[in-house]
Structure 1
């Protein structure tokens, strides 16, 4: 009888949810299977809270664990389901969990049950100290200043001001999706003008579709870094980067520099395709920054890529260059441990 050691099984990816190293910067990837657009919050209570898009696009789940590696084994709790009719009735995408002023907020994307591509931003609120408990209250649509296809909201605070960044089609109805930024005056609303930070310009941002989406923000080394994802949600999906000085007026588009090449993309060598829609977290001690993202472990997809369920959540440590900019490397292979891949 052929016998396989645990180590060999891990390398084969058969037990990829089982960590093989105790190092807090090492992960057994994928962390969570069939969960796209991942968002992880390391809260002050010591728990990692995880939410993501489910392949059925019909609900929002939360789970928590003491380590990133344990998230895949943690119980998924459904905290909200789509409406049977009307708004918030289809395409439940990209939830993000944020703790603001003593309450929890879930920002998410949804279409109408009767018009599934009439996509907008919505918010849920929970006053419980533990977001797995208490009541999630619908706070309605998060208005952006004009009505058009809108998705992938994120929020961050910088030097005493909270901001919202999101994806939307331009007010003039031009094709493609862009990324905007505005100040927030409450966790449920923006104030002042929304400014355009980036639109699809380069060839790698226009593969099949003209897409800039899914902003995520990391403040480090005197800079504000905003990653985003571009092109179709297949093997062409890749991650771009905007950079601004931490002292800059973030609402001035000229304060941001856009990298002309993707900073994170498919790796045939590692068998990872279409990495993107990322978020950021840290090790429990806060010393190491972690990139959390989704990718598939195959290139070719039968049918619509949005209907393929196998975008898996993954994580890897970020390296930092001498000039203070991030080195993401490439997506690591399944069950490969360690930092940024090559």
Structure 2
């Protein structure tokens, strides 16, 4: 049976108390003046020793991702949130937005596609980690043509630079000689602790139940030992609903302490939930160094209609003052392990004993204050700017008629140049013109070079579905028609207003690259 994964990121909290000092006077004033001064000073002291209260971010509503929203990993980096989730295919896509709310409508940009048969299906639990100026993308994947899911293994990609969108190259597989069957390992994350780097994932050692396992790393893509150690097994009653499972480990650091959350029980049940370990010893490779909390830390809420919350990750608000958890959950008790799971996020706090307090999963649909420190507006649509000409993908005259031509034009900010990029839940999107509601369409479903791109009513076919494939840093993508495999191309690399946009075979030139620019 498939075991579902979980995403995570290190959280660092920033305490911000300030100390006020009472002013001292050289003389002895009258009693009334003394009392007034003391009262004023005490008020000032109370006010200034309270933690600074940052303004809430832009309002958001869960879910953040309703299509393919399982096993979410959410990273805030350099002014933007990046969200990546399980796809169940051989493709990995990332959403990017300056606000948490904007992720719900952000384009899904394909950053990796694999045709190698041993690892090109059932991609689960992707995570992004930044080390030494490169992003490392860890994920589980299986073998094409093999029944799910004994062929799942952990793989790692490396970015060329500091852009989380890539481009990426494949670095290798991470597995252990003592994992069964045959090196099975899923839900891997990277733990930094006690001056070392460790890979923590979910697997079985010597026939154990599906457990949390750990091995040392010599660098972000190489294990220092092929032998894994079990640090947690599903032995408590709440870890065995449906099947005994510990998976989806995720590190959380706070005030010099290291915690590791994990998902327990079988994802097919509504009782999939989070447990917690704490590193209380000196050796992360030793099971004795980890102390397990005997009760779950995050679980279903029938009152709020949330079932099977798990496979979590962590992130901080843009100003660094708030801690947030991202996770997937179902909206019915029979939701199971598939694509019905949606991505959700909420703020969490800390108990007086220094442990995290994740609270109760919030209901869908309520407007909530976003992470503090967000300053950008939430995007509602996007313009597509050609890299060669600097001009925008435009709908001629803003006409709503089927067959209206699509060409390039100087960017004006008009709604006929704004497009909603709507995820179709199959690694493709449709491009909906804001002015008309019509979609980008390849004329007559042609597969020929030069076939016209136009507007048409939504027919729900592959000729109207596109993959946005990351091409170059700067948010440049190629717009690939799902039916023909050909890309949106400015005819003859023209730079004039009105130059036609058509489909053409990929030539790897700037006339076929489009920048995604968020608009409101």
State the TM-score, normalizing by the size of structure 2: 0.56
| Unpaired stretches in structure 2, ≥5 consecutive residues | 1-54, 371-520
Comparing 153-162 with 67-76, which one deviates more in the overlay?
153-162
Distance 1:63 1:159 in 2: 33
The aligned runs of 1:189-204 (5 Å cut-off) are 189-192=222-225, 193-204=227-238
User: Is the contact between residue 176 and residue 183 of structure 2 (CA under 8 Å) also seen in structure 1?
Assistant: no
Per the alignment, residue 70 of structure 1 pairs with: 102
> Separation in 2 of the partners of 1:67 and 1:191?
39
Give TM-score scaled by structure 1 length: 0.84
Would you say 1:155 and 2:215 are equivalent positions?
Answer: no
Does the Cα contact within 8 Å between 1:205 and 1:231 map onto a contact in 2? yes
**Is 1:88 aligned with 2:119?**
yes
Alignment partner for residue 237 of structure 1, among 257, 272, 275? Answer: 272
Alignment partners' CA distance in 2, 1:330 and 1:320: 14
Query: How big is each residue's C-alpha offset from its partner over 1:209-247, in whole Å with a ceiling of 9 and x where there is no partner?
Result: 1110000010102311100001111312111000124x7
Residue 71 of structure 2 aligns to a residue whose secondary structure is strand
- Offset of residue 290 of structure 1: 0.4
State how far apart, in whole Å, the 1-side matches of 2:264 and 2:291 are.
Answer: 16
Matched, 1:180 2:219: no
Give the distance between the partners of 2:295 and 2:114, measured in 1 at CA: 37
CA contact (8 A) 2:58 2:100 kept: no
Q: Which residue number in structure 2 is paired with residue 144 of structure 1?
A: 176
**Length, aligned pairs only:** 307
Match 1:107 to one of 124, 128, 138? 138
Matched, 1:59 2:94: no
Aligned to 1:273: 307
Offset at residue 128 of structure 1 (A): 2.7
Tell me if the contact between 1:103 and 1:129 (Cα under 8 Å) persists in the aligned partners. Answer: yes
The alpha-carbon deviation at position 188 of structure 1 amounts to 0.9
Equivalent pair of 1:60/1:81 in contact (CA under 8 Å) = yes
Residue of structure 2 equivalent to 1:315:
345
Tell me the distance in 1 between the aligned counterparts of 2:233 and 2:189.
17
When residues 180 and 26 of structure 1 are mapped into structure 2, their CA distance, relative to the original with a 3 A threshold, is farther
Change (3 A) 1:284 1:236: same
Of 317, 328, 331, 2:361 maps to 331
- Following superposition, the deviation at residue 52 of structure 1 comes to 0.7
Aligned mate of 2:243, from 189, 193, 209 = 209
Change over 3 Å in CA distance of 1:26–1:184 after alignment to 2: farther
TM superposition shift of 1:59 = 1.5
Structure 1 residues 196 and 28 mapped into 2: Cα distance closer, same or farther (>3 Å)?
same
Cα displacement (A) at 1:203: 1.6
Q: Which residue of 1 aligns with 2:63?
A: 30
Aligned to 1:132: 165
Q: Distance in 1 between matches of 2:261 and 2:101?
A: 23
Higher-Rg member (1/2): 2
Deviation at 1:25, TM superposition (A): 8.9
| Contact persistence 1:239–1:262 (CA under 8 A) | yes
Does the 8 Å contact 1:25/1:317 carry over to 2? Answer: no
Tell me the alpha carbon deviations over residues 97-155 of structure 1, each in whole angstroms, 9 at most, x when there is no partner.
11111111110001111324211101111113213243x21122113343332100101
Structure-2 separation of matches of 1:332 and 1:290? 13
| Alpha-carbon distance, 1:160 to partner | 3.5
Distance 2:358 2:59 in 1: 15
CA RMSD across the alignment: 2.0
